[in-house]
Structure 1
Amino acid sequence: MNPAGPTDTALLVARMSNDSGQPLAHLVNYACHPVSLAWQNRLISPDYVGAMREVIESRWDVPVLFLQGASGDLNPRECYSGDPAVADRNGRQLGLAVASVLEGLQPAGMQSVYTGAVISGANLGTWQHRALPEERTATRMDLRRSEIELPIKPDFPSLEELRAQRAAATDRVLQDRIDRRIFLRQALGPGPVDRMGVWLWRLGDAVLVGIANECYHILQKQLRVRFPRTPLFISTVTNGGIGYLPPREVYGQDIYQVNQTPYAAGCLERTIETLEREIWDML
């Protein structure tokens, strides 16, 4: 963990309402590994997501859908614990932040409109809730799936090489690591590239992006900079996942994400550029 490293604290919250303005569900998108608990814990746990849901659902009594953001390099400040109270505490922090956002949302189907100034010692601008224009409330939906070709590391072992390594290994930890690489190679197949699935949904003004691997947070930061007026909900490990997508500059460092991933340097950057084109085409 590097407390001084870059991060992304962006929190996206959406409310789904019926025609009468009553909430039906909430959508929460936040980027943080659910690793509050680790090897000392022997309980099945939703980690911080569970307590976050409890905070929101106890207040509004509607379901909460959580989307795991691009958190390949983001962990909770307090993590790898054996105490479930740590997961609950992390979840309450996020839940209270979500509640703050929900309390500040405009009423469903409404916007704030400037209605003029009240002349006084200091002129006071006045705003009122008005219905959104029809073009903003018209149904705009689109769904598409595409694939991005990601090169495999040239030195990533073949299935035969990995099975030979496994047969020679005697250390249990090493055996487990090789077993994981065997699983990765079986999922990738014998070829030099993998075709990673990505999914995009347009829902009104917002776009939801699903990516089938664990991306570093720079992916969502760069996409949101490129689309500053479009709410982008980013979901990683969508419909499964094989490995991490670190930025090119960290390859060569002895860190878990680089050692674990079968993908070559540059795959994250290729993913960002492809998604930018897909989003532009959808808008």
Structure 2
Amino acid sequence: MNWELLLKQFKNYLKLEKSLSLNSIDAYVHDVVKLRQFLEISNKESSPARLTYNDLTDFLVFLSELGMSPHSQARIISGIKGFYKFLMIEEIVTNDPSALLESPKLGRKLPDTLSFPEIESLLNSIDLSTAEGTRNRAMLETLYSSGLRVSELVELRLNNVFGDQGFLRVLGKGNKERLVPIGREALKYINIYVKEIRCHLVAKPGSENHVFLNRRGASLTRVMVFTIIKNLAKDLGMKKSISPHTFRHSFATHLIEGGADLRAVQEMLGHESITTTEIYTHLDRDYLKQIIKDFHPRS
């Protein structure tokens, strides 16, 4: 089956038969495109007629691992169900593997994903008149701009910040290196911190090359970053329980919801292959930068 043809027919069905708005039509089509991208990434059978319920649940697990919120997963399930309803009506398939899919529970508040306005509120609440505030703004901008793990943030080295190219070299799990795009706002605050604050600190032995230091010149700990974020949220009156990982999940969720390619987001996060085989080729760095530019809310 030709995916492009099916998507075109599906779009016409939503427009002519369902009379949906252009925004709703685009959202439904993008949901199906995400499914197709997942199938390509995982080397699964890509024909809609041969997909199984297990294939679709694997897709939802993958989205959850990327950090997509249950609300967003529920919307995507709705899109997939709509696609299979169309395929059944047109007698393109005889079996609907999406029939048993259930939406995630939506009743509870989510502690691990923030909206863009909430991210903005947190960042703007930081007091830039203090040395610690300038450092904290640079750290959180970096977390949200590049989707780093907290361990990757505290281990970030000065010689691994390539401002001219707009990339960070990150040492992730299993000592695997990757290059991650970083936005202009994050680079701006890193430069301010390094040139105006960090340069006056005497770094402790072993911390000379770390980007982020405490007031005594030692590299930060993971616990300290957790505490900084918790206190910011508390001072702002946020009810959600957030952590450094919240910024990583929000980074992925906002990119995916904006339409970014799943494979690009997976590479930027440094996720392992979701199959036992290496399933994607090395992506062009200019392409990853373009993904950030096109789809990140703070690009």
TM-score, reference length from structure 1: 0.21
Which is higher, the Rg of structure 1 or of structure 2? 1
Structure with higher RCO (Cα < 8 A, 6+ apart):
2
Relative to its length, the structure with more strand (as a share) is 1
TM-score, reference length from structure 2: 0.20
